[in-house]
């Protein structure tokens, strides 16, 4: 099929590359000329495992190309994905200006029947609004489809290639059939393709992210209660997770959730519910707990040093909002580092992939280390903020020699308490 994908960010690039991989002709569009130039050279502007291989192969085989010319992409495609950002607006709502702008530009370039797909995460009712905008601009026939994306950064290619399910919100059979055919190659292991109305598809995406965020905030509160009562959240988590009605995933407490999705999607669902005079009480609490949780580790650090961090050197391992990405949007590392700096501490930070992004955020306020062990040199304490694989089994003896004092604040509970004690570290974690 002839496909266009507008927006080559964490979602659009993966969608475009994976659809090319399954044999479609894909033209990806971005307004960012520098990004398009990079992509044309076969380089990915983002870090995402597996993406560069897909780019190289499908570009070489002529199935994947990149342009800034949206009109050209529309003219030569039947299915056009809108995968631009829907950032948080000032009042917590999803800012739809990019989606609506692209919808209008698509309509103006149409030269025949097109399926316009909302891939971006958009509030309930957006497909209807997109349909209205396009109807005003063109006399050509078209369908609008809502096809929310459930991939997770760090495993985005794998998630798209082997989805748990594909959700298609469609108002007519022709568009539904085209979308089902497009996704068939990805569901051969039996994952369901669910066709429903657009409003349900739009809400399914927010409901999924909201449940995941709720699980995280809930376990963070359980961990805080563990701290108060001397219980161990690892035992609680395992006992709870072995109940099949609950499941083991997303029960890990930590420094709060971040990223470009959970924070904004929780707020947007709360906001569009309140627009209909519905008070989404649970989600307000989920958001408030998350804000609180980002400060828990800083409070522990502050307390250990007698509320006097002035002149202390704190090493930070992990800056990205989660492992295997360079994305720092809403990363808990940001408020944690800002709080440490505000208390007069010196911060030495390291991340395997997010250093470039972090330098853009903190500039010279933070000292960035080329290697993880460089960051702990002369440090009064280490804080683990992101659980990258390479932090899990470090050379503790080497660290102990390098650090001014052997103190670890483990914001992701990746080390064993007994082991830390045996090795002679003063060790703090979350809920243990």
Ligand X SMILES: NC(=O)c1ccc[n+]([C@@H]2O[C@H](COP(=O)([O-])OP(=O)(O)OC[C@H]3O[C@@H](n4cnc5c(N)ncnc54)[C@H](O)[C@@H]3O)[C@@H](O)[C@H]2O)c1
Catalytic residue among 28, 198, 226, 261, which? 261
Nearer to ligand X, 68 or 416 (CB): 68
Nearer to ligand X, 150 or 373 (CB): 150
Q: Determine the longest span between alpha carbons in the chain, in angstroms.
A: 74
CA separation for the pair 73, 4 (Å, rounded)? 6
Residues belonging to the chain: 432
Q: Are 133 and 99 in contact (CB under 8 A)?
A: no
Q: Does residue 12 belong to the site contacting ligand X (CB under 6 A)?
A: yes
Strand partners, 116: 80, 144
Among 54, 102, 168, 339, binds ligand X (CB under 6 A): 102
Q: Which of positions 168-227 make contact with ligand X (CB under 6 A)? A: none
Among 93, 153, 270, 369, binds ligand X (CB under 6 A): 153
Q: Are 354 and 334 in contact (CB under 8 A)?
A: no
CB burial string 196-222: b at 16+ within 10 A, e below: bebbebbbbbbebbbebbbbbbbbbbb
Structure tokens at 105: 């530009």
Q: What string marks each residue from 337 to 366 as x (binds ligand X by CB under 6 A) or -?
A: ------------------------------
Residues 6+ apart with CB under 8 A from 73: 4, 6, 27, 28, 29, 67, 80
Q: Does residue 123 belong to the site contacting ligand X (CB under 6 A)?
A: no
For ligand X, the nearest residue by Cβ is 9
Write the CA distances from 337 to 62, 316, 347, 372, 426, integer angstroms: 45, 8, 7, 17, 21
Q: Which listed range, 6-14, 128-136, 211-219, 342-350, lies at the site for ligand X (CB under 6 A)?
A: 6-14
Could you confirm whether 18 is annotated as catalytic?
no
Nearer to ligand X, 153 or 429 (CB): 153
Structure tokens at 218: 């809930």
Q: What string marks each residue from 227 to 266 as x (binds ligand X by CB under 6 A) or -?
A: ---------------------------------xx-----
Among 57, 72, 98, 400, binds ligand X (CB under 6 A): 98
Q: Which of positions 26-85 make contact with ligand X (CB under 6 A)? A: 29-32, 35, 83-85
> For the residues of 376-392, what is the DSSP string, one character each?
HTT-SEEEE-S--GGGS
Q: Which listed range, 94-102, 187-195, 217-225, 403-411, lies at the site for ligand X (CB under 6 A)?
A: 94-102
Q: Does residue 159 belong to the site contacting ligand X (CB under 6 A)?
A: no
Q: Which listed range, 107-115, 147-155, 188-196, 419-427, lies at the site for ligand X (CB under 6 A)?
A: 147-155
CA separation for the pair 310, 308 (Å, rounded)? 6
For the CA atoms of 43, 45, 51, 56, what is the dihedral angle to 10 degrees? Answer: -20
Q: Which listed range, 8-16, 136-144, 223-231, 309-317, lies at the site for ligand X (CB under 6 A)?
A: 8-16
Binding site for ligand X (CB under 6 A): 6-12, 29-32, 35, 83-86, 98, 101-102, 120-121, 149, 151, 153, 260-261
Q: Which residues participate in catalysis according to the annotation?
A: 261
């Amino acid at each position: 099929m002839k496909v266009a994908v507008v927006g080559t960010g964490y979602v659009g690039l993966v969608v475009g590359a994976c659809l090319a991989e399954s044999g479609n002709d894909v033209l990806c569009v971005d307004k960012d000329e520098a990004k398009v130039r990079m992509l044309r050279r076969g380089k990915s502007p983002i870090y995402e495992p597996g993406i560069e291989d897909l780019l190289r192969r499908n570009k070489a085989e002529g199935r994947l190309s990149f342009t800034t010319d949206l009109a050209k992409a529309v003219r030569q495609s039947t299915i056009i994905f809108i995968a631009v950002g829907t950032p948080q607006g000032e009042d917590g709502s999803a800012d739809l200006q990019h989606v609506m702008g692209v919808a209008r530009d698509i309509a103006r370039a149409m030269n025949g029947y097109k399926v316009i797909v909302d891939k971006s995460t958009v509030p309930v009712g957006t497909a209807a609004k997109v349909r209205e905008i396009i109807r005003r601009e063109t006399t050509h026939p078209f369908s609008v489809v809502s096809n929310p994306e459930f991939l997770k950064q760090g495993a985005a290619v794998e998630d798209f290639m082997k989805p748990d399910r594909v959700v298609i919100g469609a108002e007519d059979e022709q568009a539904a059939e085209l979308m089902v055919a497009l996704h068939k190659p990805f569901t051969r292991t039996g994952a369901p393709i669910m066709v429903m109305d657009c409003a349900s598809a739009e809400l399914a995406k927010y409901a999924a992210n909201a449940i995941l965020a709720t699980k995280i905030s809930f376990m963070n509160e359980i961990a805080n209660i563990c701290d108060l009562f001397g219980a161990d959240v690892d035992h609680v988590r395992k006992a709870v997770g072995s109940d099949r009605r609950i499941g083991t995933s997303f029960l890990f407490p930590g420094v709060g959730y971040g990223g470009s999705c959970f924070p904004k999607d929780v707020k947007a669902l709360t906001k569009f519910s309140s627009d209909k005079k519905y008070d989404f009480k649970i989600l307000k609490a989920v958001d408030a707990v998350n804000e609180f949780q980002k400060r828990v580790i800083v409070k522990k650090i502050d307390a250990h040093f007698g509320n006097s961090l002035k002149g202390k050197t704190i090493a930070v391992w992990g800056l990205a909002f989660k492992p295997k990405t360079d994305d720092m949007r809403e990363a808990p590392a940001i408020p944690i580092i800002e709080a440490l700096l505000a208390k007069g501490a010196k911060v030495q930070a390291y991340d395997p992939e997010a250093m470039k992004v972090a330098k853009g955020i903190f500039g010279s306020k933070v000292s960035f280390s080329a290697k993880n062990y460089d960051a702990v040199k002369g440090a009064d304490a280490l804080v683990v903020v992101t659980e990258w694989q390479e932090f899990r089994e470090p050379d503790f003896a080497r660290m102990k020699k390098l650090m001014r004092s052997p103190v670890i604040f483990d914001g992701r509970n990746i080390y064993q308490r007994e082991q830390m004690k045996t090795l002679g570290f003063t060790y703090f974690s979350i809920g243990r």
